[in-house]
A and B are shown apart, each in its own frame.
Chain A
Amino acid sequence: MLNDWLYIGLILIIAPIFPIMALIIPRILAPHKPSSLKSETYECGVKTVGETWVQFKVQYYNFALIFLIFDVEIVFLFPWAIAYHQLPLFAVIEGILFILILVAGLIYAWRKGFLEWF
Chain B
Amino acid sequence: MSDPVNLIANWLKTVLINWGVSPTWITVILSAIGVVVLASVVLVLDIFLVWVERKVVARFQDRLGPNRLGPFGLFQPIADVIKLLLKEDITPDKADKFLYNLSPVIALATVIMLWAVVPLAPTIFGSDINVGVLYIIAVGSISTLGILIAGWASNNKFALVGAFRTVAQMVSYEVPMVISILIPVILSRSMGINTIVHSQTVWYIVLAPVAAIIFLISSQAELGRAPFDISEAESEIVAGFHIEYTGMKFGLFYAGELLHALTLGGFFATFFLGGWRGWGVETYPILGIFYFFVKAFFMYWVIMWIKYSFPRVRIDQMLNLNWKFLTPLALAALIITALLDKLFQNASYSVYVLVMFLSNVILLYIAYLVVGSYARAERKRVADPEKIRVNFPIKSSGSTIEPRSTSEGAHV
Contact = CB atoms under 8 A, between A and B. Distances in A.
B128 A4 contact: yes
B323 A26 contact: no
A115 B129 contact: no
24 contacts: A8-B135, A11-B113, A15-B112, A19-B107, A25-B85, A26-B247, A30-B87, A44-B158, A48-B157, A52-B157, A53-B160, A54-B397, A57-B164, A60-B164, A64-B171, A78-B191, A82-B189, A92-B338, A99-B331, A100-B335, A106-B328, A117-B315, A118-B401, A118-B403
A64 B331 contact: no
B90 A29 contact: no
Interface in B375-398: 392, 394, 396-397
B215 to A, nearest CB: 14
B74 interface: no
A11 B35 contact: yes
Interface stretch (B179-187, B260-268, B301-309): B179-187
Contact of A11 (B126, B171, B175): B126
A85 B175 contact: no
B91 interface: yes
Interface of B: 27-28, 31-32, 34-36, 38-39, 43, 84-94, 101, 104-110, 112-113, 116-117, 126-129, 133-135, 152, 155-158, 160, 164, 167-168, 171-172, 174-175, 178-179, 182, 185-186, 189-191, 238, 243-244, 247-249, 251-252, 315-316, 319-320, 323-324, 327-328, 331, 334-335, 338-339, 341-343, 345, 392, 394, 396-397, 401-404, 406
B156 A52 contact: yes
A31 B88 contact: yes
Contacts of A55: 397
Contacts of A113: 406
B164 A56 contact: yes
A7 B31 contact: yes
Contacts of B34: 7
Contacts of B190: 82
Contacts of B110: 15
B31 A70 contact: no
A99 to B, nearest CB: 6
Given A19-B108, A40-B92, A71-B174, A6 B179 contact: no
Contacts, number: 225
A118 B156 CA distance: 24
Contact of B249 (A23, A74, A78, A115): A23
Contacts of B323: 63, 66, 106, 109-110, 115
Contacts of B394: 118
Interface in A29-64: 29-34, 36, 38-44, 48, 52-57, 59-60, 63-64
Q: How large is the interface on A (under 10, 10 to 19, 20 to 34, 35 or more residues)?
A: 35 or more
Nearest to B179: A74
Given A15-B113, A85-B189, A96-B338, A117 B129 contact: no
Contacts of A36: 93
Contacts of A108: none
A93 B403 CA distance: 43
Contacts of A43: 156-158
B324 A110 contact: yes
Contacts of B108: 18-19, 22
Nearest to A25: B85
Contact of B89 (A8, A10, A27, A56): A27
Contacts of B328: 103, 106
Given A52-B157, A63-B172, A38 B90 contact: yes
Given A3-B31, A52-B157, A92-B339, A23 B175 contact: no
A71 B127 contact: no
Contact of A63 (B113, B171, B248): B171
A12 B114 CA distance: 10
Contact of A3 (B27, B107, B174, B315): B27
A30 B249 CA distance: 13
Contact of B316 (A16, A19, A39, A117): A117
B124 to A, nearest CB: 13
B37 to A, nearest CB: 11
B335 A52 contact: no
Contacts of B248: 22-23, 25-26
Contact of B334 (A5, A63, A99): A99
